[in-house]
Amino acid sequence: MAEGSLAEVTLRVFRGDQEGGKPTDYRVPLVPGMVVLDALHWVQSHQAPDLAVRWNCKAGKCGSCSAEVNGRPRLTCKTRLDALPLDEPITLFPMKAFPVIKDLVTDVSWNFRVNQKIPPFQPRPGVEWKMYQRDVDRVQEFRKCIECFLCQNVCHVLRDHNKKEQFGGPRFFVRTASLEMHPLDGVSRTHLLKEELGLGLCNITKCCTEVCPEDIHITDNAIIPLKERVVDEFYDPLLMLVRKIRSAKKV
Amino acid sequence: MRVEGSRLFNPGWHLVRDLHSMLTVAEAVTRSALARHESRGAHSRIDYPGLDDAWGKKHNVVTKTAGAMALTEAPVLEIPDDLKQLLAEDSGAK
């Protein structure tokens, strides 16, 4: 790649594992159109063959190459070098919210355990298998998620407070919203949202929406409508009164 | 060949493990491509730019014979009758 290329860039890449580590500098020749992942591959093939990077598609669709580029959570395959200041080193660190396996590779298996708590799609008994386009469109946005976990990484409930036992994180509010808003689904997940996924811990700072590479409006379209559902079911005083009267009649 | 670093998530280590097989496959592909005197799909040659019907009826087969690569030709199998019928119906429908 780039024989005789004059321009070079310095990558400051975290090298280490769960025992600890430190950043190491690599000089990489600059090629027009290059993205951060290309530069990492150049380092792998020329300077550090043991540099660990998780990647698959190089096209922003697999959600594997998440890292923190100059302190910002990004997909390295979608971050062009010409969009970054090249007169200073580009820092590359693994996602902070997850335990490091090696270099830029983190253990994201906690996410898969949270996912298992969510009851899958189940159609209402005898429902007519017919949907309006606007209902389809509403859910389709959530299905764009590529599970890069950048939203999980940036969410302060997970990143700064490490509430992994009490909180599900933006990714799983998006998944729950896609099921709750499905016009044919018959399962209620409001109790799960309130008690297991800790929806109330989210205070709508919209950091997740800001970093989403698929531009899903996580806060506005998923989290806030889910918060409304939880409030309707558990905190609405008028509904509480109605339910009390109804349950009293039965006795 | 030599590998740096530990066995933990080491792409260089994987490459070393794969390299021998990759070279074998590369050689088999190159031998077959040199033998095929035509251009067909992704196989494109400047010295043989056109399709050759004769090559449409045979495959190149590379086998390991006495530790070396041997290149032989094998005929392309006829499409089974039931598939032929399906294809005919499909093109008829359009």
User: What digits encode the pLDDT tens for the residues A4-46?
Assistant: 557 999 999 999 999 999 999 999 999 999 999 999 999 999 9
Residues A116 and A90 in one domain: no
pLDDT above 90 covers what percent of chain A? 92
Q: Does A79 have pLDDT greater than 90? A: yes
Residues A154 and A211 in one domain: yes
Determine whether the interchain pair B8/A53 forms a contact, defined as Cβ–Cβ distance below 8 Å: no
Determine whether the interchain pair B11/A102 forms a contact, defined as Cβ–Cβ distance below 8 Å: no
The rounded distance, in Å, linking the Cα atoms of B60 and B71 is: 7
Residues A101 and A116 in one domain: no
Size of interface A-B (CB pairs under 8 A): 31
Interface of A with B (CB under 8 A): 17, 44, 48-53, 101-103, 105
pLDDT of residue A244: 87
In a domain, A242, yes or no: no
What is the pairing mode between strands A90-93 and A8-17?
A: parallel
Residues A102 and A130 in one domain: no
A35: CATH: 3.10.20.30
Interface residue of A14, A24, A50, A100 to substitute, partner B, most B CBs within 10 Å: A50
Q: Give, in order, the Cα–Cα distances in Å from B78 to each of A157, B57, B58, B73, B88.
A: 63, 9, 11, 16, 15
Question: How far does the CA of residue A166 sit from the closest CA of chain B (Å)?
Answer: 31
Mean pLDDT computed over every residue of chain B: 92
Phi, psi of A90 (to 5 degrees): -90, 120
Q: For A48-127, list the strands marked E by DSSP.
A: 66-69, 72-75, 90-93, 100-102, 105-106
- ipTM of the prediction greater than 0.85, yes or no: no
Task: Please indicate if any CB of chain A lies within 8 Å of the CB of B7.
Answer: no
Nearest to A233 by CA among A195, A176, A179: A195
Q: Where are the domains of chain B?
A: 11-93
Residues A129 and A95 in one domain: no
Alpha helical stretches, state H, chain B: 11-35, 81-93
The domain boundary, picked from A57, A81, A106, lies at A106
A152: CATH: 1.10.1060.10
* Segment B39-54 mean pLDDT: 96
Residues A120 and A31 in one domain: no
In a domain, A62, yes or no: yes
Question: How far does the CA of residue A17 sit from the closest CA of chain B (Å)?
Answer: 9
pTM to 2 decimal places: 0.82
The rounded distance, in Å, linking the Cα atoms of A247 and A187 is: 22
What's the number of domains chain A is made of? 2
Digit-coded pLDDT (tens) for A162-209? 999 999 999 999 999 999 999 999 999 999 999 999 999 999 999 999
Residues A122 and A143 in one domain: yes
Q: Does A157 have pLDDT greater than 70? A: yes
Of A49, A103, A105, the CB nearest to B15: A49
Interface residue of B2, B3, B8 to substitute, partner A, most A CBs within 10 Å: B8
Residues A91 and A136 in one domain: no
pLDDT of residue B94: 56
Residues A101 and A113 in one domain: no
**Predicted confidence band of residue A2 (pLDDT cuts 50, 70, 90):** very low
Residues A87 and A155 in one domain: no
The domain boundary, picked from A106, A125, A149, lies at A106
pLDDT of residue B91: 81
Residues A128 and A116 in one domain: yes
Q: Are A180 and A232 in contact (CB under 8 A)?
A: no
Digit-coded pLDDT (tens) for A103-127? 999 999 999 999 999 999 999 999 9
The domain boundary, picked from A82, A106, A130, lies at A106
Determine whether the interchain pair B10/A17 forms a contact, defined as Cβ–Cβ distance below 8 Å: no
Mean pLDDT computed over every residue of chain A: 94
Residues A154 and A229 in one domain: yes
**Predicted confidence band of residue B52 (pLDDT cuts 50, 70, 90):** very high
What dihedral do alpha carbons A161, A70, A152, A222 form, nearest 10°?
120
Nearest to A86 by CA among A162, A39, A30, A130: A30
